[in-house]
């Protein structure tokens, strides 16, 4: 499956679209170039041979040992009953007040809208061209991104002791 | 700052409504939101122009908790995601860890059948709540009492098996907490015999009730393509006419050995994918779950009988040692596709990242689309038909 997708993607978008291939493990994954991700998703959703019409999950993983954030997309195809994992690497910016950025896929699958809001809320990954990127689970005025590895709990929130 | 643009846009929208419109807060303490969900409605008279859901009142940082303790200690937390179907949650989680450990195919058949048995019992309990509270949303009080009366029998049985009424911690990695108590199979058979006529009664009370049909048929119609695009799953997707059940698609555990049908919506009372279809799919699923339970009891009392040598904890690992890898496991919960994404690291039994993909979270995301231009009373009917559990939306 993964080889078939890889060949098709290289044919359509060129060699640079695949940054890396992860073949070991239970679920092989393709690392897609950051700027091409949205187009790749459109292609995978619409092409007749793959038809990945269902986006199961979007996750952001803090990989700060390697200075990166990894955004993981789990796709499923309802007519073909197949699954696919795509990953996008985003470099970690040097300062804390700049967020890592990549393009939103919410135009491809509407469900990505809330998944990306969650990834922004908890991990601090900014999705460009997202229609409504507000915090979703934490309060609007919360500071920091709780799922990052270097996150420390605040002492107070609106003068209420948190710890 | 561009990071705050969306928040500013939202605040502008709320403060910039016209003099005809009104902002109404439905919740977080509104009984028909089934928990602490706040819906901000922009209304024009009785018509809802826009729905803006606000979640997070029940946020307990499941992901962060799971990253701070080892795999085994996370199981009680998974029980609290969808607290109406705890068994199904821990089954999905445990299945993921077992597959990463390579234990997936080694689990004894008796353990698997017990797991399916308790999961299906829990599925019935969850659907009973969905139907009962849906009735009460619409204004029918009797089904609510009937559903809770019958659900209590299931709760008592599961309490007997696990020691706890709602949050079980019964399914463990590699096995079970204990074997079923002696006499469980008989009591379960008794329950099935008792429940079948009761279900028929419930079905007759609600499904063909003219008031219920007028409130639900042709309301909140969700076309199949929209449902897929919004990531809806479970009864929500099946009510739109798509036969998508992970118990059949993935065929996990012993489901391939069991006989059951997948009920789908067919627009019997109105359009395909309306509130009535979503309700009906749940009723039909209870019937299928009863079939599965009967088959499980049959196998558990014949082929995989209890024996003194049987140890449900034989395969439970002392320490879950995994290589660095990642895995996404999905399973069919009463509400839809529950997924867990694991990213593990070498030389420690603490995961690097665990993410729970709750079906309610995705099913709810379609509400702003369905709620556009409906009456306020219909919005309650639509929300009830989605059947959300806030423990899972907020995690």
For the segment B69-81, the average pLDDT, to the nearest whole number, is 89
Inter-chain touch B230–A110, beta carbons under 8 Å: yes
Kindly report, residue by residue over A73-112, the tens digit of the pLDDT: 999 999 888 999 999 999 888 888 888 888 899 889 999 9
Other beta carbons within 10 Å of B299: 20
pLDDT on residue A9: 85
C-alpha–C-alpha distance, residues B328 and B330, integer Å:
7
CATH of residue A76's domain is 3.30.460.80
The continuous run of DSSP H or E covering B385 comes out as: helix B376-386
In chain B, residues with a C-beta closer than 8 Å to the C-beta of A113 are: 365
User: Nearest Cα to B119, choosing from B268, B260, B18?
Assistant: B260
C-alpha–C-alpha distance, residues A134 and B339, integer Å:
24
Among candidates B6, B231, B395 on the partner chain, residue whose Cβ is nearest the Cβ of A54: B231
Q: Is B343 on the interface with A (CB under 8 A)?
A: yes
What Rg value do the Cα atoms of chain A yield, rounded?
A: 17
Per the structure, the complete domain to which residue B50 belongs is given by: 2-54
For the segment B355-370, the average pLDDT, to the nearest whole number, is 90
Shared-domain flag, residues B109 and B49: no
Min Cα–Cα distance to chain A from B41, Å? 17
Kindly report, residue by residue over A1-21, the tens digit of the pLDDT: 888 888 888 888 888 888 888
Shared-domain flag, residues B31 and B138: no
Task: Give the burial string for B224-258 (b: 16+ CB within 10 Å, else e).
Answer: bebbbbbbbbbbbbbbbbbebbbbbbbebbbbeeb
Kindly report, residue by residue over B202-228, the tens digit of the pLDDT: 888 888 888 889 888 888 898 999 999
Quote ipTM for the complex: 0.90
Shared-domain flag, residues B99 and B48: no
Kindly report, residue by residue over B223-280, the tens digit of the pLDDT: 999 999 998 998 989 999 898 989 888 888 889 988 899 999 888 888 888 889 999 9
Q: Select the residue from B13, B68, B231, B358 to test the A interface by mutation, using most A Cβ atoms within 10 A.
A: B231
C-alpha–C-alpha distance, residues B82 and B88, integer Å:
9
The continuous run of DSSP H or E covering B235 comes out as: helix B235-239
CATH of residue B274's domain is 1.10.645.10
Residues 10-69 of B with CB under 8 A from A: 10, 55-56, 59, 61, 63-64, 67
C-alpha–C-alpha distance, residues A98 and B386, integer Å:
38
Average pLDDT, whole number, for chain B? 88
Among candidates B55, B56, B353 on the partner chain, residue whose Cβ is nearest the Cβ of A61: B353
Question: Nearest-5° angle of CA B293, CA B299, CA B302?
Answer: 140
Shared-domain flag, residues B357 and B219: yes
Shared-domain flag, residues B49 and B86: no
Strand partners, A128: A103
Shared-domain flag, residues B23 and B84: no
pTM (predicted TM-score) = 0.91
Q: Is A134 on the interface with B (CB under 8 A)?
A: yes
Residues 37-76 of A with CB under 8 A from B: 53-57, 59, 61-62, 72, 74
In chain B, residues with a C-beta closer than 8 Å to the C-beta of A72 are: 326, 328, 341
In chain A, residues with a C-beta closer than 8 Å to the C-beta of B330 are: 56
C-alpha–C-alpha distance, residues B316 and B320, integer Å:
9
Read off the pLDDT band of A157 (50, 70, 90): confident
Q: Is B249 on the interface with A (CB under 8 A)?
A: yes
Query: Is residue B377 pLDDT above 90, yes or no?
Result: no
Kindly report, residue by residue over B27-71, the tens digit of the pLDDT: 788 766 677 888 899 999 899 999 999 988 888 888 888 888 888
Inter-chain touch B7–A126, beta carbons under 8 Å: no
Shared-domain flag, residues B98 and B17: no
Indicate left, alpha or beta for B364 from its phi (over 0: left) and psi (-120 to 50: alpha). alpha
In chain A, residues with a C-beta closer than 8 Å to the C-beta of B249 are: 81
Shared-domain flag, residues B9 and B93: no
Other beta carbons within 10 Å of B80: 18
In chain B, residues with a C-beta closer than 8 Å to the C-beta of A57 are: 328, 339, 341, 355, 357
Per the structure, the complete domain to which residue A133 belongs is given by: 2-161
Shared-domain flag, residues B15 and B72: no
Kindly report, residue by residue over B279-302, the tens digit of the pLDDT: 999 999 999 999 999 999 998 888
Q: Is A93 helix (H, G, I), strand (E, B) or coil?
A: coil
Shared-domain flag, residues B278 and B161: yes
Read off the pLDDT band of A163 (50, 70, 90): confident
Shared-domain flag, residues B31 and B69: no
pLDDT on residue A74: 92
pLDDT on residue B93: 92
The continuous run of DSSP H or E covering A141 comes out as: none
Query: Is residue B1 pLDDT above 80, yes or no?
Result: no
Shared-domain flag, residues B124 and B22: no
- Structurally, how many domains does chain B consist of? 2
Inter-chain touch B353–A57, beta carbons under 8 Å: no
Which residue of chain B is at minimal alpha-carbon distance from A138? Answer: B56
């Amino acid at each position: 499956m993964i080889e078939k997708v890889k060949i098709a993607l290289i044919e359509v978008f060129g060699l640079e679209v695949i940054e890396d291939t992860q073949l070991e493990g239970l679920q092989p994954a393709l690392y897609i170039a950051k700027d091409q991700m949205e187009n790749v998703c459109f292609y995978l959703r619409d092409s007749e041979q793959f038809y990945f019409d269902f986006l199961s999950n979007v996750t952001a993983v803090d990989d700060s040992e390697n200075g990166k954030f990894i955004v993981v997309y789990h796709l499923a195809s309802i007519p073909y009953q197949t699954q696919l994992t795509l990953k996008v690497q985003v470099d970690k910016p040097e300062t804390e007040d700049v967020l890592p950025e990549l393009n939103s896929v919410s135009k491809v699958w509407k469900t990505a809208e809330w998944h990306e809001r969650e990834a922004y809320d908890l991990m601090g990954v900014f999705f460009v061209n997202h229609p409504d990127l507000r915090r979703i689970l934490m309060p609007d005025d919360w500071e920091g991104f709780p799922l990052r590895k270097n996150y420390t709990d605040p002492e107070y929130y609106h003068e209420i002791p948190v710890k | 700052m561009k990071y705050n643009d969306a928040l500013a846009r939202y605040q502008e929208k709320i403060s910039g409504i016209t003099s005809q419109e009104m902002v109404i807060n439905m919740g977080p303490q509104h009984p028909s939101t089934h928990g602490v969900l706040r819906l901000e409605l922009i209304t024009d008279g009785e018509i809802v122009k826009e729905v803006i859901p606000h979640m997070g009142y029940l946020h307990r940082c499941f992901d962060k908790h799971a990253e701070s303790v080892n795999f085994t200690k996370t199981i009680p937390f998974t029980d609290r995601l969808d607290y109406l179907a705890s068994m199904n949650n821990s089954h999905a989680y445990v299945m993921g860890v077992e597959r990463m450990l390579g234990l997936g195919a080694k689990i004894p058949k008796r353990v698997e059948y017990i797991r399916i048995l308790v999961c299906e019992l829990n599925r019935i309990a969850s659907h009973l709540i969905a139907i009962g509270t849906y009735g009460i949303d619409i204004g029918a009080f009797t089904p609510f009492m009937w559903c809770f009366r019958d659900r209590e029998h299931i709760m008592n049985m599961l309490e007997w098996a696990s020691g706890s009424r709602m949050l079980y911690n019964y399914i463990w990695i590699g096995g079970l907490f204990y074997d079923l108590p002696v006499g469980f199979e008989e009591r379960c058979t008794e329950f099935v015999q008792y429940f079948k006529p009761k279900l028929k009664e419930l079905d007759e009370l609600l499904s063909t009730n003219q008031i219920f049909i007028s409130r639900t048929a042709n309301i909140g119609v969700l076309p199949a393509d929209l449902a897929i695009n919004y990531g809806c799953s479970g009864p929500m997707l099946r009510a739109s006419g798509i036969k998508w059940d992970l118990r059949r698609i993935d065929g996990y555990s012993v489901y391939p050995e069991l006989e059951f049908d997948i009920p789908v919506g067919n627009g019997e009372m109105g359009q395909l994918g309306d509130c009535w279809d979503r309700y009906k799919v749940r009723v039909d699923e209870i019937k299928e779950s009863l079939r599965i339970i009967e088959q499980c009891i049959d196998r558990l009392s014949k082929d995989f009988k209890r024996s003194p040598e049987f140890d449900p904890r034989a395969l439970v690992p002392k320490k879950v040692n995994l290589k660095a890898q990642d895995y996404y496991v999905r399973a069919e919960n009463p509400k839809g596709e529950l997924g867990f994404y694991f990213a593990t690291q070498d030389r420690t039994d603490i995961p690097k990242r665990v993410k729970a993909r709750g079906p309610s979270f995705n099913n709810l995301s379609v509400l702003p689309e369905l709620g556009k231009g409906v009456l306020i009373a219909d919005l309650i009917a639509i929300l009830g038909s989605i059947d959300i559990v806030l423990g899972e939306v907020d995690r």
